[in-house]
Amino acid sequence: MAETALKGELGLKSEYRTKLVSTDEAVKAIQSGDVIHYGAFCGTVYDLDEALARRIHELHDLKTIASIWPYEHKPAVVRADPHSEHCRWQTSQFSPVERQMNKDGNCWYIPVQYREQLKYWRQDTKIDVAMLQVAPMDEHGHFNIGPQVSDSMAVVERARVVMVEVNENMPRVCGVHGYSMHISEVDYVVEGGNRPLPERLAKKPSVIDREIARHIVPLIRNGSTLQLGIGGLPNCVGTLIAESDIKDLSVHSEMFVDAFLNLYKAGKISGKKNLDRGKMVWTFSMGSKELYAFIDRNPIHLCYPVDYVNEISTVARLDNFVSINSCLEVDLFGQVNSESVGMQHIGGNGGQLDFVLGAYMSKGGQSFLCTPSTLRTKDGKIRTLIRARLDAGAVVTIPRQVTHNVVTEYGVACMKGKSTWQRAEALINIAHPDFRDELVREAEKMGIWKNSSRVGS
């Protein structure tokens, strides 16, 4: 038995050595016209990007697909091809760097329903080359994909050529399926520079962030299961929960963030939920070095593909589910924009719609969409974010019939079961006082707010 195992291990190591090449050698497999998936989040390749940039002018009509470019500089292929004459950068979620690239005219957004991405890649999108950053191969011939299980398995299945960039700093996650790939599924192995994972640290919460959080925390019950979105505001809510008397919380979240680690260290997470009991369930993670260390080989985590984590029916099965996300603006109909400022794209919608829908279907569930009441523009003017109407080109991320609770520093407005004028009134009441009269006048012009509205109210 031991001799057979030794032969198997030697065979795996031999296959690894056969497939081990330099980055420059690996990218020779890329052909003009190819669609290249760059990996997702912390699994986005770095050295392979640099190698592809070195030969970008030999190729034409390339398209890349990414899910958040996590580094602080533009991709090497974009720097080498700034006018997108050889390659077009496409992404399903926007990072700050990609937002600037979009303004510069060399980044295109792929609108997605995040939980559907596995089906997109398997059914609707051509992927020729999959490149992803992984942990070193284990003794059984498997590469752990790390804290971005997400849609990776579908990308690998779809691709003609699979390249892995090995990084010894990649945390190994625990999961059920889709969290690792075997050497037999890989065409090229490159050993990267073992760079530290990119960190995504939440901004220090503002006074307004803390006011918004203070409106939400009293509404969270003991025994709730939490989903926290990207950004400083959801993290601020998590911090205040850690300081509160709330207990017996659980985690089921698209993104695993440092706020959950803080809640765990504060003894707030017991995992007593009625589905995946005792496990923190999520599909990707970005945060601090401490967070990555907490994830590494820790069986308390269960990193599932996104078509399970974000599936509305999965969320609905979790009692007392609480979804907390940021948004950019809300109009008096209750339509929520979380993606753009007018025509300018800001960020992807991710799973926000799914969690808003699933939370309301949950027994005792609640969703909160949070925004400051105002924004100071570049020219110094103050702009209300409770809008009479969304601007032309603004994207509706959450339709009005789906919106549950909207939160500003002035309170919580529940949209469920309310008529159009009641919605407008509730939203005006949480707008900045300086804009409330103006919003009433706009509501009257729009036919939402009429003298007869209050009769019998």
Q: What's the pLDDT tens digit per position in 97-148?
A: 999 999 999 999 999 999 999 999 999 999 999 999 999 999 999 999 999 9
Residue 2 maps to a domain: no
Please state, rounded to an integer, the average pLDDT across all residues of the chain: 94
- Out of 142, 162, 191, pick the residue that ends a domain: 191
Torsion angle defined by CA atoms of residues 139, 140, 146 and 150, in that order, rounded to the nearest 10 degrees: 180
Residue 312 maps to a domain: yes
Same domain, residue pair 146 and 235 = no
What pLDDT score does 343 carry? Answer: 85
The residue range of the domain holding 61 is 13-191
Same domain, residue pair 443 and 336 = yes
Does 26 have pLDDT greater than 60? yes
CATH number of the CATH domain containing 349 = 3.40.1080.20
What pLDDT score does 457 carry? Answer: 47
Residue 247 maps to a domain: yes
Number of structural domains (the chain) is 2
CATH number of the CATH domain containing 182 = 3.40.1080.10
Same domain, residue pair 427 and 301 = yes
In angstroms, the CA 324 to CA 238 distance is 10
Residue 35 maps to a domain: yes
Residue 197 maps to a domain: no
Name every residue whose Cβ is closer than 8 Å to that of residue 387 and which is 6 or more positions away in sequence: 329, 330, 331, 332
Residue 231, token pair as written in the block? 């950004």
What pLDDT score does 201 carry? Answer: 83
Residue 399 maps to a domain: yes
Same domain, residue pair 155 and 221 = no
What pLDDT score does 1 carry? Answer: 45
Same domain, residue pair 162 and 118 = yes
Express each pLDDT in 252-280 by its tens digit: 999 999 999 999 999 999 999 999 999 99
In angstroms, the CA 406 to CA 363 distance is 20
Q: Is 254 part of the annotated catalytic residue set?
A: yes
Catalytic residue selected from 50, 254, 329, 425 = 254
In angstroms, the CA 321 to CA 163 distance is 39
Same domain, residue pair 187 and 229 = no
Same domain, residue pair 73 and 118 = yes
Indicate the pLDDT class of residue 401, thresholds 50, 70 and 90.
very high
Residue type, 405: N
Residue 201 maps to a domain: no
Express each pLDDT in 280-306 by its tens digit: 999 999 999 999 999 999 999 999 999
Same domain, residue pair 174 and 224 = no
- If you average pLDDT over residues 355-381, what whole number do you get? 96
- Out of 191, 220, 244, pick the residue that ends a domain: 191
- Out of 160, 191, 222, pick the residue that ends a domain: 191
Indicate the pLDDT class of residue 403, thresholds 50, 70 and 90.
very high
Q: What is the percent of the chain where pLDDT is above 90?
A: 88
Same domain, residue pair 158 and 289 = no
Same domain, residue pair 82 and 219 = no
Same domain, residue pair 145 and 262 = no
Same domain, residue pair 368 and 225 = yes
Residue 198 maps to a domain: no
Does 341 have pLDDT greater than 80? yes
Q: Which of 70-74, 81-85, 449-453 has the lowest mean pLDDT?
A: 449-453
